């Protein structure tokens, strides 16, 4: 797509976050959607495009009373919403719709109207046939397959993983909406309950309830809305394999590399142009992979880059400034929350605001390195 032809004019999360036992999944989608509409002064009748994952766009449109001319139900895990943004931008440029609503809602903790774990796919799926018989139980045990190889080849330690969680907790402490704000040390992370080696509890994502929504429209119309527009500068997406055991290389995500490269090329930027970065962090290893696969660090340098506090408060590349999936929020599919923070930063309204941030990247993962989506955002008008 052409740079800055589409902008986010509405963005909001659910009214409550964390533990919401009185709301079902569809209610969380609706709450986030209505908050995003209020953010930009729109009504359901003003929306002519919908995109969502977890529920169907049919259910979403019906529940909100929207009659769309564009609907996207792409579902590839937690980065689905990055792909929705990419597809919606293309649809707006093609005239398929003028105003597209993208929603997320998940009762990850309270499980009100929630389904089962989507990553398994059932016994007849490829993971069901060729990985499940060997005993993995959910993401913590499946991500250990590439991570143990990654640590060995890169020369990283378990302490390096722990430090990712420690620094992100520092960001979370500045965020009133964060689920976990108390400071933690590397020792705290290492001594937390073991989940699946090398992951202790504090290296694993939160399990929460909540949601978010984004409204996109053309850059020409964006100036007519009350909030500061945040323009789409570049996008990328890719998929690799539904089975983590079949990754081309356990030390690098091909989906990350392809998606990131495409987004950078489309945006026409260099790494030094990036002021703010959100890397999906369901587990503590993902920021390390992301920094390397997106090209911010050479292979083997990401742990040192974080240990030197380059991604911390006051660092040269602020990373996961909301606290991330480890400390802020993780209802199951985190990609929406990463984009919400990118948009807040570029609007200048984030709780832990990065001074003079002009370009932010939201980078997501789906499944066990199965998919990826990358969005480059800018707050400078075309």
Asked whether the beta carbons of 277 and 345 are under 8 A apart, the reply is: no
The tokens describing 329, both together, are 């929020």
The tokens describing 280, both together, are 């999906």
Mean pLDDT of all residues in 23-30? 97
CA distance 192 to 97: 49
Domains and CATH numbers, the chain: 2-113+206-378 (3.40.47.10)
The tens digit of pLDDT for each residue in 316-345 reads 999 999 999 999 999 999 999 999 999 999
The tens digit of pLDDT for each residue in 100-152 reads 999 999 999 999 987 654 445 568 899 999 999 999 888 999 999 999 999 99
Task: Output the average pLDDT for the chain.
Answer: 96
**Residue 41 pLDDT:** 98
**Residue 115 pLDDT:** 63
The tokens describing 193, both together, are 């309950």
CA distance 354 to 358: 10
Mean pLDDT of all residues in 48-53? 98
Bridge partners (DSSP) of residue 276 are 360
Percent of the chain whose pLDDT exceeds 70: 98
3-state secondary structure (DSSP) of residue 11: strand
Instruction: Name which of 120, 144, 243 is nearest 203 in CA terms.
Output: 144
CA distance 64 to 27: 10
Residue 275: pLDDT over 90: yes
CA distance 252 to 299: 9
Q: Band the pLDDT of 57: cuts 50, 70, 90.
A: very high
**Residue 118 pLDDT:** 47
Half-sphere exposure of 76 (CA within 13 A, CB side): 24
Asked whether the beta carbons of 367 and 242 are under 8 A apart, the reply is: yes
What predicted TM-score, i.e. pTM, was given to this entire model?
Answer: 0.97
């Amino acid at each position: 797509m052409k740079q800055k032809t589409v902008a986010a004019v509405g963005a909001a999360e659910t009214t409550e976050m964390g533990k919401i036992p009185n709301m079902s999944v569809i209610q969380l989608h609706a709450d986030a959607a209505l908050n995003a509409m209020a953010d930009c002064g729109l009504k359901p009748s003003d929306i002519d495009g919908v995109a969502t994952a977890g529920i169907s766009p049919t259910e979403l449109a019906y529940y909100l009373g929207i009659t769309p001319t564009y609907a996207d139900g792409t579902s590839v895990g937690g980065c689905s919403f990055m792909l929705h943004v990419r597809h919606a931008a293309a649809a707006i440029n093609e005239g398929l719709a003028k105003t597209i609503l993208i929603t997320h809602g998940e009762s990850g903790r309270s499980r009100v109207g929630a389904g089962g774990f989507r990553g398994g796919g059932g016994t007849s799926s490829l993971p069901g046939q060729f990985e499940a018989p060997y005993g993995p139980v959910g993401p913590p045990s499946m991500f250990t397959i590439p991570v143990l190889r990654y640590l060995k080849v890169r020369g990283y330690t378990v302490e390096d993983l722990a430090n990712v969680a420690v620094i992100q907790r520092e960001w979370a402490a500045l965020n009133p909406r964060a689920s976990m704000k108390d400071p933690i040390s590397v020792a705290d992370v290492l001594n937390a309950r073991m989940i699946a080696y090398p992951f202790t509890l504090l290296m694993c994502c939160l399990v929460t309830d909540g949601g978010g929504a984004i409204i996109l429209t053309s850059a020409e119309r964006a100036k007519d809305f009350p909030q500061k527009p945040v323009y789409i500068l570049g996008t990328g997406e890719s998929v690799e394999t539904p089975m983590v055991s079949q990754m081309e290389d356990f030390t690098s995500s091909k989906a990350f590399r392809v998606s990131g490269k495409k987004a950078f090329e489309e945006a026409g930027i260099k790494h030094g142009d990036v002021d703010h970065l959100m890397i999906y962090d369901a587990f503590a290893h993902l920021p390390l992979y992301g920094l390397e696969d997106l090209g911010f660090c050479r292979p083997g340098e990401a742990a040192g880059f974080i240990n030197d506090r380059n991604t911390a408060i006051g660092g040269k590349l602020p990373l996961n400034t909301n606290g991330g999936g480890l400390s802020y929020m993780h209802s199951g599919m985190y990609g929406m929350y990463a984009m919400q923070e990118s948009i807040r930063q570029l609007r200048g309204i984030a709780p832990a605001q990065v001074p003079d941030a002009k370009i932010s990247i939201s980078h997501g993962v789906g499944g066990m390195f199965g998919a990826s989506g990358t969005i480059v955002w800018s707050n400078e008008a075309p």
